[in-house]
Structures are given as structure tokens and as C-alpha cells.
């Protein structure tokens, strides 16, 4: 492949990976847990110190079991991901990628005014399956926790992350 074609391919890959990262945030905010799980059809997800979850069914069920859906059918949150540092390696369908990024979650409910409720980092690995980019692994590193009483069914600051079977 010539240099220009390779550069264009890597640019397209970068946008596809960013779209995948942003679809994750949209699915969480809109409580589309089955679709969210589907982003991990070929991968795993976990938090620091917790056991990894694998595949669409287990991850979708985890989010459905642990996130509070409000009267409007959403979590009343906005997951914002920023500063992605993406590295792409390999050629063709053997390409792989990794990324480090930040996140902050804002929430507003009848009881909680608009405010950041949690912030941290994502460490991601991606791989290609049948020509498309997928999460291979997402590690969620929570750095700061605010008022999450209207977000999760457990206390992230105090309780272990619950295990949900797939």
C-alpha cells in the first residue's frame, strides 16, 4: 500500500475507533443496554480491581442491573469522553489499536442538580473482526466520585462491583 493510502486508512481507523468510544457513551446515557453490550460482542469490560465481564449478554445485563433508569427512560446522565490518545499497529485486518482517554459523567435529576458525579480514565484495546473495529477490552479507572445516589444501584465508593451472570 502506498504512503497516502496507508495514511488515509489509519485516519479512517482513528475515526471508526472514536465513533465506537462515543457510541458507548451514548448507549449508557440513553439506557440502551443491549446495544451497549453489543459493542463488546468480541471483547471484555472491567474496572480496576474487579473481575472482567465478557461478551454482549453479560455486559448488557450488568448495565441493566446496576444503572438507575429514570422516568424519561434514560439515566439523566451525559458521559463525556475526551483526550483520546490512539495508537494503531499492524496491517489489514491484523490491525489493532489501543487508547487512553478521560471521562466525566454529569447528571441532573429531580433530586440532584446538574453536576459531575464521577470522573476517570478509560484504557482501551480494539481489534478488527470482519473488517470492523470492536472493543477488545475496556478498563475503567475511576479517579473521582461525587454524588452518585441517582445513578447506580450500589455505592461505587464503598461497595464491590456486583457480579452479574451473562
Q: Which domain CATH number covers 97?
A: 3.10.450.50
Considering the domain boundaries, does residue 152 fall inside one?
A: no
pLDDT at 161 over 80: yes
DSSP class of residue 131 equals T
Q: What's residue 82's pLDDT?
A: 96
Q: What's residue 83's pLDDT?
A: 96
Considering the domain boundaries, does residue 66 fall inside one?
A: yes
- Average pLDDT score over the chain: 94
Considering the domain boundaries, does residue 155 fall inside one?
A: no
How far is it, in rounded angstroms, from Cα 74 to Cα 31?
5
Considering the domain boundaries, does residue 49 fall inside one?
A: yes
Reported as a pLDDT band with limits 50, 70 and 90, residue 97 is very high
3-state secondary structure at position 155:
coil
Considering the domain boundaries, does residue 163 fall inside one?
A: no
Supply 100's cell numbers: 487512553
Model confidence pLDDT, tens digit, residues 18-54: 999 999 999 999 999 999 999 999 999 999 888 999 9
Considering the domain boundaries, does residue 153 fall inside one?
A: no
Mean pLDDT, to the nearest integer, of 134-153? 96
CA of 153: how far to CAs of 21, 94, 163, in Å?
Answer: 24, 40, 13
State how many domains the chain has: 1
Q: What's residue 1's pLDDT?
A: 57
Reported as a pLDDT band with limits 50, 70 and 90, residue 164 is confident
Identify the domain containing residue 77 by its residue range. Answer: 3-145
Considering the domain boundaries, does residue 164 fall inside one?
A: no
Reported as a pLDDT band with limits 50, 70 and 90, residue 6 is confident
pLDDT at 71 over 90: yes
How far is it, in rounded angstroms, from Cα 27 to Cα 29?
6
Reported as a pLDDT band with limits 50, 70 and 90, residue 166 is low
Q: What's residue 5's pLDDT?
A: 86
Amino acid at each position: 500500500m502506498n504512503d497516502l493510502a496507508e495514511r488515509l486508512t489509519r485516519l479512517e481507523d482513528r475515526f471508526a475507533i472514536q465513533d465506537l468510544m462515543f457510541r458507548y457513551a451514548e448507549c449508557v446515557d440513553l439506557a440502551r443496554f443491549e446495544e451497549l453490550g453489543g459493542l463488546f460482542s468480541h471483547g471484555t469490560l472491567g474496572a480496576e480491581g474487579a473481575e472482567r465481564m465478557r461478551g454482549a449478554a453479560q455486559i448488557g445485563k450488568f448495565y441493566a442491573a446496576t444503572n438507575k433508569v429514570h422516568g424519561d427512560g434514560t439515566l439523566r446522565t451525559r458521559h463525556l469522553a475526551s483526550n483520546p490518545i490512539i495508537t494503531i499497529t499492524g496491517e489489514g485486518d491484523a490491525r489493532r489499536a489501543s487508547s487512553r482517554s478521560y471521562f466525566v459523567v454529569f447528571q441532573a435529576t429531580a433530586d440532584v442538580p446538574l453536576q459531575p458525579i464521577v470522573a476517570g480514565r478509560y484504557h482501551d484495546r480494539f481489534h478488527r473482526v470482519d473488517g470492523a473495529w470492536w472493543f477488545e477490552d475496556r478498563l475503567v479507572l475511576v479517579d473521582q466520585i461525587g454524588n452518585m445516589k441517582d445513578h447506580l444501584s450500589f455505592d461505587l465508593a464503598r461497595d464491590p462491583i456486583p457480579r452479574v451472570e451473562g
